[in-house]
Chains A and B, each alone.
Chain A
Amino acid sequence: MTATAPPALALLPPADDALVLSHRLGEWAGHAPVLEEEVALANIALDLLGQARALYAELRDELGSEDEIAYLREERAFRNCQLVEQPNEDFAHTIVRQLYFSAYQLPLHHRLASCVPVAAKAAQETAYHLDHAEQWTLRLGDGTEESHARMQRAADALWRYTGELFEPIEGLDIDWHGLRAEWSGTLTDVFGRAGLTVPDGPGTGAWSAGAGRQGLHTEPFGRMLAEMQHLHRSHPGASW
């Protein structure tokens, strides 16, 4: 511990990122292209869920129990970025989403490690997530014509959600420009080796810049939330 801990509410956006992406990855269970990948995506989801829970625990005084935070908030109360709520689509979309997000989350964890205990732990896990996304990006980007085309399509489609990652989160006193530079460096390197083109443009949609962090989400998020929350809401207090 070197730095002062950030205000608890500043941890809500990274916590929501982890929870929402965890749920999206969990949707692959039973559908992944091969068994090993099914297990890999579920394991990554589990890491993210653990990170979310550890961060939510810090928010108990402000927002209540982990279950209340995850299952009883409305869409507008979620502070995750729009990137993580995007649907899985094909495997290429999932991998590009993983690459964009892990390449952001790893340097974020490094920057938070001195003041948020779980961030140092999470960084070890995120290094594996980034590696997983990188290996698939190389394999598919530099694979067949079809896999290459799908990867490029996914890279272009998800690009508009990346600008938001670098909108400073209030209370997190970190070097956002440096974070963005590190993220861009990783992408340029991996895409270069995969034979993919880093999309250009501002990395934001016409109306979406910074929106997720302010509680404004894309249309698929409501459906995801309905599925994620319905069991808890239909059977309050249910347990295994």
Chain B
Amino acid sequence: MVTARPAPQDAPGTRPPASGPTRLPALRELAGSVPDPELPVITLAELGVLRSVSEPEPGRVEVELTPTYTGCPALETMAEDVERALTAAGVQRVTVRTVFSPPWSTDDISEEGRRKLAEHGVAPPRPGTGRDGPVPVRLSPARRADGLTEQIRCPHCRAAGTELLSRFSSTACTSLRRCLACREPFDHFKEV
């Protein structure tokens, strides 16, 4: 999906200190504040895809990102944006690595992230899914084994009655639903 992406934060307010105990947390905050390229209302930290920031040697910062989906086309853009943000803050060398283990789960989205998604018109994922690894999420109504009881609410009018239109929507991580009350279609962040 091609989406307009906002300019990454090229000019952060404060540069991370060149050394000392606050350097890594400051770098982590900076990397985490980069907006998600497809859902720019939330940051990489809020989405839960920033796994670690380390400095294996002075001047070289290593960042680990994990994809929401293996084929997530935004991952390369995320890596570039993180690299740009850190370079702009004075880091000489940035390496961004992709890690798959443990797999990202929608439970990794922060409370703030969920709130922003809902505000943006995307129904946030319901908590408490699949965190413990490869348990198949069977979605057939007849065999709901995923243990989800909470309803997916319409992000526009908050009505609880919504229906599934398509399991796959504008991005790999969302499904398309429609509100039975206000009839508005909306994206829902699929639980994984």
The finding on whether chains A and B are genuine partners in a shared complex, rather than unrelated, reads: yes
Q: Quick check: B166 and A118 within 8 Å, CB to CB?
A: no
- For the complex, is A109 an interface residue (Cβ under 8 Å from B)? yes
Q: Quick check: A128 and B71 within 8 Å, CB to CB?
A: no
Q: Quick check: B137 and A121 within 8 Å, CB to CB?
A: no
Which chain A residues in 112-151 approach chain B with CB under 8 Å? Answer: 113, 117-125, 127-128, 130-132, 134-135
Closest CB in chain A relative to B168 CB, distance in Å? 4
Q: Quick check: A43 and B70 within 8 Å, CB to CB?
A: no
- For the complex, is B186 an interface residue (Cβ under 8 Å from A)? no
Q: Quick check: B172 and A124 within 8 Å, CB to CB?
A: no
What residues of chain A lie closer than 8 Å to B98, measured between beta carbons?
54
Q: In whole angstroms, how far apart are the Cα atoms of A108 and B103 in the complex?
A: 16
- For the complex, is B6 an interface residue (Cβ under 8 Å from A)? no
What residues of chain A lie closer than 8 Å to B165, measured between beta carbons?
36
Give the interface SS of chain A, mostly helix, strand, loop or mixed: helix
Q: Quick check: B139 and A131 within 8 Å, CB to CB?
A: yes
- For the complex, is A11 an interface residue (Cβ under 8 Å from B)? no
Which of A45-53, A89-97, A173-181 touches B? A45-53
- For the complex, is A238 an interface residue (Cβ under 8 Å from B)? no
What residues of chain B lie closer than 8 Å to A124, measured between beta carbons?
103, 105, 130, 134, 137, 192
Q: In whole angstroms, how far apart are the Cα atoms of A42 and B71 in the complex?
A: 11
Which of B134, B165, B166, B192 is most buried by chain A, counting CB atoms within 10 A of its CB? Answer: B134
Q: In whole angstroms, how far apart are the Cα atoms of A54 and B137 in the complex?
A: 22
What residues of chain A lie closer than 8 Å to B169, measured between beta carbons?
39
Q: Quick check: B140 and A134 within 8 Å, CB to CB?
A: yes
Residue in contact with B168 in the complex, picked from A44, A48, A134, CB distance below 8 Å: A44
Determine the interface band of chain A, counting residues with CB < 8 A from chain B.
35 or more
Given A40-B167, A40-B168, A131-B167, CB of A50 within 8 Å of CB of B134: no
- For the complex, is B190 an interface residue (Cβ under 8 Å from A)? yes
- For the complex, is B104 an interface residue (Cβ under 8 Å from A)? yes
Q: In whole angstroms, how far apart are the Cα atoms of A113 and B139 in the complex?
A: 21
What residues of chain B lie closer than 8 Å to A42, measured between beta carbons?
168
Which chain B residues in 147-180 approach chain A with CB under 8 Å? Answer: 165-170, 172, 176
Residue in contact with A132 in the complex, picked from B133, B136, B167, CB distance below 8 Å: B167
Closest CB in chain A relative to B71 CB, distance in Å? 3
- For the complex, is B8 an interface residue (Cβ under 8 Å from A)? no
Q: Quick check: A127 and B136 within 8 Å, CB to CB?
A: yes
Given A43-B172, A51-B70, CB of A135 within 8 Å of CB of B101: no
Q: In whole angstroms, how far apart are the Cα atoms of A54 and B99 in the complex?
A: 10
What residues of chain B lie closer than 8 Å to A43, measured between beta carbons?
168, 172
22 contacts between A and B (CB under 8 A): A36-B165, A36-B168, A36-B176, A37-B166, A39-B170, A40-B166, A46-B71, A48-B71, A49-B71, A50-B70, A120-B133, A120-B134, A121-B101, A121-B103, A123-B103, A124-B134, A127-B137, A127-B138, A128-B167, A130-B136, A131-B137, A131-B139
Q: Nearest 6 A-B pairs (CB), nearest first? A: A50-B71, A50-B70, A36-B166, A117-B101, A43-B168, A46-B71
**A46-B69, A121-B101 known; 12 other A-B pairs, CB under 8 Å?**
A40-B166, A50-B71, A110-B136, A117-B101, A120-B102, A124-B103, A124-B134, A125-B70, A125-B172, A131-B137, A134-B140, A135-B167
